[in-house]
Structure 1
Amino acid sequence: MNFLDLLSYTFFQNALLGSLFASIACGIIGSYIVIRRLVFVSGGITHASLGGIGMGFYFGWNPIFSAMIFSILSAFGIEWLSSRQGVREDSAIGSFWSLGMAIGIIFIYLKPGFAPNLSDYLFGNILTITHSDITYLAVLSFILILVFALFGKQILFSAFDSDFAKTRNLPVNTIKYLMMMAIAITIVLSIRLVGIVLLMSILTVPQMTANLFTSNFNKMILLSILIGFFGCLVGLFLSAALDVPSGVFIIFTQIIVFLISRYTIQFRRRGKSQKVIA
Structure 2
Amino acid sequence: MIEYLLEPFSYQYMNNALLAGALVGSVCAFLSTYLVLKGWSLIGDALSHSVVPGVAVAYTLHLPLAVGAFFAGFLAAGSMAIIKQLSHLKEDAIIGLVFTSFFALGLLIISLNPTSINIQAVIFGNILMITQSELLQILIISVSTFVIIGLFWKPLLLVFFDENQAATTGISARGFKLLFFVLLSACTVASLQAVGALLVIAMVIIPGASAYLLSDRFGVMLIISTLFGLVTSLVGVYLSYFWDTSTGGLIVLSQVSIFATALLFAPKYGLLNSHHRQARSLNKLRSGIKHA
The 1:49–1:6 alpha-carbon spacing in structure 2 relative to 1, beyond 3 Å, is same
In structure 2, what is the Cα distance between the partners aligned to 1:267 and 1:164? 38
**Residues 248-259 of structure 1 mapped to structure 2, 5 A cutoff:** 248-259=249-260
Partner SS for 1:190: helix
Deviation at 1:231, TM superposition (A): 1.3
Of residues 236-245 and 60-69 in structure 1, the stretch that sits farther from structure 2 once superposed is 60-69
Of residues 65-74 and 53-62 in structure 1, the stretch that sits farther from structure 2 once superposed is 53-62
In structure 2, what is the Cα distance between the partners aligned to 1:139 and 1:21? 10
2:55 counterpart of 1:53? yes
TM-score (norm 2): 0.85
Deviation at 1:85, TM superposition (A): 3.3
The 1:275–1:91 alpha-carbon spacing in structure 2 relative to 1, beyond 3 Å, is closer
In structure 2, what is the Cα distance between the partners aligned to 1:241 and 1:125? 16
Between the aligned residues of both structures, percent identity stands at: 24
Deviation at 1:41, TM superposition (A): 1.1
The 1:164–1:128 alpha-carbon spacing in structure 2 relative to 1, beyond 3 Å, is same
In structure 1, what is the Cα distance between the partners aligned to 2:56 and 2:146? 32
Deviation at 1:194, TM superposition (A): 1.3
Q: Report if the CA contact (8 A) 1:31-1:220 is conserved.
A: yes
Could you give the per-residue CA deviations for residues 229-263 of structure 1, whole angstroms, max 9, x where no partner exists? 22112211232223322111111111011111211
The 1:248–1:149 alpha-carbon spacing in structure 2 relative to 1, beyond 3 Å, is same
Partner SS for 2:27: helix
User: Gaps spanning 5+ residues in structure 2: where?
Assistant: 285-292
- Alignment RMSD (CA, Å): 2.3
Higher radius of gyration, 1 or 2: 2
In structure 2, what is the Cα distance between the partners aligned to 1:102 and 1:213? 37
In structure 2, what is the Cα distance between the partners aligned to 1:269 and 1:101? 40
| Residue 123 of structure 1: aligned partner | 124
Q: What is the count of residue pairs matched by the alignment?
A: 276
Partner SS for 1:267: helix
In structure 2, what is the Cα distance between the partners aligned to 1:121 and 1:2? 32
2:8 counterpart of 1:6? yes
Deviation at 1:203, TM superposition (A): 0.6
| Residue 42 of structure 2: aligned partner | 40
The 1:178–1:68 alpha-carbon spacing in structure 2 relative to 1, beyond 3 Å, is closer
User: Gaps spanning 5+ residues in structure 1: where?
Assistant: none
**Residues 156-171 of structure 1 mapped to structure 2, 5 A cutoff:** 156-171=157-172
In structure 2, what is the Cα distance between the partners aligned to 1:130 and 1:68? 21
